[in-house]
Amino acid sequence: MNAGKKGDPKMNRGYEEIGAEEVRSDPNLSSPLEIMRRMGGRARPVRNPSGKQVDSMLAAYKDRMTYTFIMEGEVASIHFDRLRGEIFFRGHSLKNMELSEAQVLALHSLVEILKEDEEGKSFYADYEATLSRLMADK
C-alpha cells in the first residue's frame, strides 16, 4: 500500500487507496464508518426539531451523505449522492423501487432534518430537488 510512501499519512488517503488487505489487517478499518472517518468524513447523532435525541445518525462526506435510522423495528438508511443526483433507500436506487407509504414518509422527513441540522443544511436544497424530481417520475 501507500502507507509511509512520499510522507502521506494514512489519514489523508482516499478510499481507493485503502485496500482490502489493509482493511483486514487494521482493526480500526473494520467498518464503513471507520473508513469514512479515516477519509475525513464525520458522523454524529441527529436531534429532532424538539431537541429530543432520536435513534438516527447523519454521516456526511464531500458530496455524499447517509442518514441511518430505525424504521419498523429494523435499521434503515437513506443515501444521497449529490454528484450523481441519486437517492438510495436501504441500498436500492429510488429509480428502481416501488415505495411504501412509510418509505415515502421517511424520505420526506429527511428534508426537514436536513433543513434543521448544522451539517445537513449543505445538502438540504439539492436533496429536496432530487427527491422532488424522483417522486415526480414515479
Q: Are residues 28 and 47 in the same domain?
A: no
Give 10-residue mean pLDDT values along the chain (138 residues): 44 45 52 57 58 71 91 91 95 93 93 89 96 89
Of the candidates 37, 38, 33, the one whose C-alpha atom is nearest the C-alpha of residue 8 is 38
pTM of the model: 0.64
Number of domains in the chain: 2
Q: What is the dihedral of CA 106, 124, 135, 104, to 10 degrees?
A: 0
Q: Are residues 121 and 72 in the same domain?
A: yes
Q: Which residues 6+ apart lie within 8 Å of 102 measured at CB?
A: 71, 72
Residue 127, domain extent:
42-137
* Amino acid of residue 76: A
> What is the pLDDT at residue 12?
44
